[in-house]
Amino acid sequence: MMNLRAVDAIEIFSLVDNSIEVIYHLDRDDVKRPNQWFESDAQTLPLADHGFAVLVRTYAGGDVHTVLLDTGPRPDILVENARRMALDLQAVEAIVISHSHWDHHGGLLSVLDAIEKPDVSVLIHANMFGVFGVRKKDGAIEVEARAPFPTEADIRARGGVPVDSAAPVLIAGGTLLVTGEIPRLADYETGFPGRFIRADDGGWQPYDMCDERALAANVAGCGLVVLTGCGHRGIVSTARRARALTGVDRVHMMMGGFHLAGEKVEPRIPQTVADVAALAPGLLVPCHCTGFPAMMAFAQAMPGAFVANSVGNRYTVGAPRREK
């Protein structure tokens, strides 16, 4: 069990996501879209792209901590969107990279450049530096064509300090939990068959996206906030992992890529929706790689909790105190 410090509030800013919506009806105190919390016009609206990144601020007894979960697909978009949304990247003390995919780490080095600090923790998993393989139709395994993760030397040259988080770890003054590896806690969340990682002996071994980790906070009076990059390990397993590690049963908010798009995973949608509904979150924000069929199913099952994300949205759980 991890000693996660309860916070008064958390704010989450959608810095990179696949879609932008600036005119739809949204009348909630806890969610503000662009135009509702900052002045935006053609020059300052954030840009949508295939990828994911959020800036997270926690508020606890006057302390404020700022971290990033993921960095989007390309070098420029996170930094540009932060500028458009007037978010101060130099306040960032840690960057959590959820897993090894390019649409989550593409902005890492340029974000470190923008932060301009010598000691920014970069929460990684050792697998990220590996070589990945995919099984071809003829059965052979070939190296997967994907943008490589930055090298440890490149990260350190920009002030990043790699921190392995295969096991759970607390960051941000103990106000945020990186879950570590997420075991299968729902039998139908069977991962990604057909992917491999190169072993030390040069051969291939099955790779089940075990490097994917999530972020969790505990907001006093509300419950857990669970944030996930692609959710390849399964959103239900992820939420159950956060509950088990913290001892907090109530899940107030779930946000991120739930990875329910594509023919291999879409059969899981009904059971996933049922198990998420059983958690009864008050705020449910499936985005990025969740896919339209699953988004529809979540919206229909939980209309009071579901929010369709727009890049630029701001989410607030609890009451931020800003004296420090």
* 63, two tokens: 């302390």
* 219, two tokens: 């907001």
Over the window 253 to 292, marking each residue x when it contacts Fe ion by CB under 5 A and - when it does not, the resulting string is ------------------------------------x---
Nearer to Fe ion, 209 or 279 (CB): 209
Report the residue from 8, 70, 103, 211 that binds Fe ion according to the rule CB under 5 A: 103
DSSP-assigned letter for residue 46: P
Q: How far is the CB of 103 from Fe ion (least distance, A)?
A: 4
Decide if residue 227 touches Fe ion (CB under 5 A): no
Nearer to Fe ion, 136 or 146 (CB): 146
Return the H-helix or E-strand segment holding 247.
Answer: none
Give me Rg for the CA atoms of the chain: 19
- C-alpha triplet 178, 194, 135: angle, nearest 5°: 130
Decide if residue 213 touches Fe ion (CB under 5 A): no
Nearer to Fe ion, 101 or 233 (CB): 101
Residue 254 CA to residue 124 CA, distance in Å, equals: 22
CA neighbor of 178 nearest in space, from 187, 170, 186, 190: 170
What is the distance in angstroms between the CA of the first residue and the CA of the last residue of the chain? Answer: 30
Nearer to Fe ion, 49 or 80 (CB): 49
Give yes or no for a contact between 92 and 125, defined as CB atoms under 8 angstroms apart: no
Decide if residue 74 touches Fe ion (CB under 5 A): no
* 167, two tokens: 């096991």
Query: Which part of the chain contacts Fe ion (CB under 5 A), choosing from 121-129, 145-153, 228-236, 290-298?
Result: 228-236
Tell me the site size for Fe ion, rule CB under 5 A.
4
Decide if residue 105 touches Fe ion (CB under 5 A): no
DSSP-assigned letter for residue 128: G
Q: How far is the CB of 3 from Fe ion (least distance, A)?
A: 30
- For residue 196, give the 3-state DSSP assignment: strand
* Footprint (CB under 5 A) of Fe ion, residues 116-155: none
Q: How far is the CB of 144 from Fe ion (least distance, A)?
A: 12
Write phi, then psi, for 180 (nearest 5 degrees). 70, -175
Decide if residue 233 touches Fe ion (CB under 5 A): no
Decide if residue 101 touches Fe ion (CB under 5 A): yes
Q: How far is the CB of 47 from Fe ion (least distance, A)?
A: 17
Residue 315 CA to residue 209 CA, distance in Å, equals: 28
Decide if residue 54 touches Fe ion (CB under 5 A): no
Report the residue from 123, 169, 186, 230 that binds Fe ion according to the rule CB under 5 A: 230
Q: How far is the CB of 230 from Fe ion (least distance, A)?
A: 3
Give yes or no for a contact between 70 and 229, defined as CB atoms under 8 angstroms apart: yes
Nearer to Fe ion, 11 or 17 (CB): 17
Give yes or no for a contact between 178 and 123, defined as CB atoms under 8 angstroms apart: yes
- CB count within 10 Å of CB 19 equals 14
Decide if residue 49 touches Fe ion (CB under 5 A): no
Say which amino acid occupies 153.
Answer: A
Q: Which residue has the tokens 């075991």?
A: 183
Q: Which residue is nearest to Fe ion (CB)?
A: 230
Query: Which part of the chain contacts Fe ion (CB under 5 A), choosing from 55-63, 72-80, 93-101, 279-287?
Result: 93-101
Binding site for Fe ion (CB under 5 A): 101, 103, 230, 289
